[in-house]
């Protein structure tokens, strides 16, 4: 479990991202850090060490030339296969982590490259060459990612408390969510417990510029199976 926090707005960036990072510190007790970029955006990561126990994979995780940076939560199951493809393409690695593989895979392939990623994850990838931010949850939706948006201001966090930490005024409780929770013991899939806080749906994402404009909406679906493949799966179940 790690923590993702990202803030796009024109004021109180440093204070806002610090409060977000502190609010989600329990998600990554091994390391926390933040970065503010030119009063346009700020991001922070809370890391729980799992695969690579060294500090070399701390987040936010930067590329060697510091043109890309990744904050994410999850695991990339086929990272060795992707790593081999990146080695063939000329990339070199300084760690043995899936974090570095995912960073360079996104650098190499862009948002469409996520179709080849097998795992469970939510992520924020910032590319300073294009001035674009990729925000995404994988199709399983196991790792959470909440957001708040008003105009060109965006707040993203792994938890609702992280979003609340960056807001000046605390939003009202979403009563329909409370009713759903006490009725079916579950919340509605794309909403939080507070008005205006939304959960990014599984398999969905956004590409934003540093001014908070939406460049692209992303949606990944489960691949369609042929009838013969489906029968084989059911037979072996």
What's the whole-model pTM score? 0.90
The domain ranges of the chain are 3-236
> Which pLDDT score, from 0 to 100, does residue 225 have?
57
Segments in the chain forming alpha helices (H): 13-23, 79-88, 98-109, 160-166, 175-184, 227-236
| Per-residue pLDDT at 226 exceeds 70 | no
Q: Which fold has domain 3-236?
A: 3.60.20
pLDDT band for position 19 (cuts 50, 70, 90): very high
Neighbouring C-beta atoms of residue 185, cutoff 10 Å? 7
Q: Is 166 in contact with 16 (CB distance < 8 Å)?
A: yes
- Residue 85 CA, chain-centre distance (Å), reads 23
| pLDDT > 60? residue 237 | no
Averaged pLDDT for residues 149-160: 97
Place of tokens 């919340």: 187
């Amino acid at each position: 479990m790690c923590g993702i926090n990202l803030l796009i707005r024109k004021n109180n960036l440093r204070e806002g991202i610090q409060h977000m990072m502190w609010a989600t510190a329990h998600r990554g007790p091994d390391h926390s850090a933040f970065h503010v970029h030119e009063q346009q955006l700020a991001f922070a990561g809370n890391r729980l060490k799992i695969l690579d126990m060294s500090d070399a994979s701390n987040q936010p995780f930067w590329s060697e030339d510091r043109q890309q940076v990744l904050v994410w939560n999850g695991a990339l199951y086929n990272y060795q296969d992707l790593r081999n493809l990146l080695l063939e393409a000329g990339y070199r690695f300084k760690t043995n982590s899936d974090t570095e593989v995912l960073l360079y895979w996104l650098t190499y392939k862009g948002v469409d490259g996520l179709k080849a990623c097998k795992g469970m994850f939510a992520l924020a990838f910032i590319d300073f060459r294009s001035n674009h931010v990729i925000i995404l949850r994988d199709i399983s939706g196991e790792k959470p990612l909440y957001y708040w948006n008003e105009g060109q201001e965006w707040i993203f966090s792994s938890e609702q408390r992280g979003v609340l930490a960056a807001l000046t005024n605390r939003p009202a409780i979403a009563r329909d969510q409370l009713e759903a929770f006490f009725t079916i013991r579950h919340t509605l899939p794309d909403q939080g417990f507070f008005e205006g806080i939304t959960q990014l749906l599984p398999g969905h994402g956004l590409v934003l510029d540093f001014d908070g404009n939406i460049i692209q909406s992303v949606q990944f679906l489960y691949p369609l199976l042929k009838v013969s493949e489906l029968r084989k799966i059911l037979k072996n179940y």
